[in-house]
Amino acid sequence: MKRIAMMSFALMALIFLTTTASWAGPGKPTFSPALYADGELWGTKATTALPAPNDHNLQSFDKLFAITNGAPGQLPVGEAAPGNPNYNGGRWFTHTVMWTVDGMDYYNGNVPVLMSYDEIEYNDDMGFLEITRGSPNPPTPPDYFQCPLLPVK
């Protein structure tokens, strides 16, 4: 009886380990927090690098802001998210963001976690951010890529 129980346990463990590995396989989306957009956390999975847009399709990309010297816990910030009429379905144009000395001074070195495009625009208008086109660490993320947003679970 003990031997049957041990064999059953080993079989169940093997089934569990093989199915768990398939759930976490490469290319699978994650529902863990990956970026902020419209003040909410979103999960995602980058799917494809895209060629640079031309004058006819630039408007089909949303900006993705990668903040290089942000607060602890700072994630990238998307220009829009699902439910926002300006959301383009997960086509992104990466921008690098750095807090300026004036921004650091204004917040006494404790800059806030930015969670929306409105917060990016406000702090940029105040002169607290320096925003440049392109990825801070090419090729990850690439300057242009596709990556749908998924609700965090």
Domain ranges of the chain: 28-151
Are the CB atoms for 142 and 49 separated by under 8 Å? yes
Over residues 131-136, mean pLDDT: 95
Burial 65-99 (b: 16+ CB within 10 A, else e): bbbeebeeebbbbbbbbeeeeebbebbbbbbbbbb
pTM of the model: 0.79
Question: For residues 67 and 19, what is the distance between their CA atoms, to the nearest angstrom?
Answer: 36
Q: What is the mean pLDDT of the chain?
A: 83
Q: Specify the amino acid at residue 134.
A: G
pLDDT tens track for 21-55: 333 345 566 678 999 999 999 998 878 899 999 98
Question: Which class for 34: exposed (0-12), middle (13-18), buried (19 or more C-beta within 10 A)?
Answer: buried
Instruction: Name which of 13-17, 31-35, 140-144 the model is least confident about.
Output: 13-17
Please give the structure tokens belonging to residue 104.
């650091």
Is the pLDDT at 61 greater than 90, yes or no?
Answer: yes
Average pLDDT over residues 55-75: 95
pLDDT tens figures, 89-118 = 999 999 999 999 999 999 999 999 999 999
